[in-house]
Amino acid sequence: METGGSLIQVRDLKKHYKGGTIRALDGVSVDINQGDVMVVIGPSGSGKSTFLRSLNLLEEPTGGSIIFNGVDITKKKYKDKNGRTVKLNIDEHRQNMGMVFQHFNLFPHMTLLDNMTLAPCKVKGMKKSEAEEMAMALLERVGLGDRAGAYPIQLSGGQKQRVAIVRALCMKPQVMLFDEPTSALDPEMVGEVLDVMKELARDGMTMVCVTHEMGFAREVGNRVLFMADGKLIEQGTPDEIFNHPKSERLKDFFAKVL
């Protein structure tokens, strides 16, 4: 899998609660490169989802920096290429980060097509006809082209999650963030969602995935992060992490989940 230069640099990221007595993130540093499929694993409460949600400031860090496209998005202001001080527009940066949650967050009163075209039209000013053409192509790609006029209540959980993924893709993001996208699904629906994610990976989409699906981490990820107690304990290729774990904490984790 080809990867390019660094897209997001995370440095000494911290997220503390209750005056620092709870450290959800405790000094995490990592580079996310163009084309990476980075899979984040670890026990419940390890900070995985907090790390992911911090990348687009859904969680506001207590300390550290997140540099995305050359801009530290944890700061209220930054200097542009001409040296001028500019106020950070976090919504602008979020447009370049697609986010898929455990729950689908589709608007129940809108058809699938309307769910998908709302943001491109309202936020990016795309023509409705152009947005619909793009949305239909994406729905076809995930096997739901015939359901464009359906409402979310008419879909299975797996179908809803596939729609949630292609809805995020409609914004043409530079990176996709997945927060345990299969954990709310019935077991027989997990595969259809992972298949869409595998296809995205093959197409070179930069992805950061928090998941309990170890098979997906092994097969699709090019980098695996293991987190525990708010810290990044170990990172490496799937082969290094799964076949040659170094830390006792990781070995203990695998003894319980594999």
pLDDT tens digits for 113-161? 999 999 999 998 999 999 999 999 999 999 999 999 999 999 999 999 9
% the chain with pLDDT above 70? 98
Q: Is the pLDDT confidence value at 1 over 60?
A: no
Q: pLDDT value at position 59?
A: 93
Q: To 5 degrees, how large is the angle CA 129–CA 131–CA 135?
A: 115
Residue reference for tokens 């530290």? 72
Nearest alpha carbon to residue 57 among 33, 88, 85: 88
% the chain with pLDDT above 90? 78
- Confirm if 165 and 159 have CB atoms less than 8 A apart: no
Name the average pLDDT for the chain. 92
Residue 105 CA to residue 94 CA, distance in Å, equals 17
Q: Is 238 helix (H, G, I), strand (E, B) or coil?
A: helix
Question: For 65-102, what is each residue's pLDDT tens digit?
Answer: 999 988 899 998 877 778 888 888 888 888 999 999 88
| Mean pLDDT (whole number) for 174-197 | 91
Q: pLDDT value at position 155?
A: 94
Helix %, strand %, coil % for the chain, to 5? Answer: 40, 25, 35
Distances (CA, A) of 70 to 8, 172, 174, 219: 8, 19, 14, 31
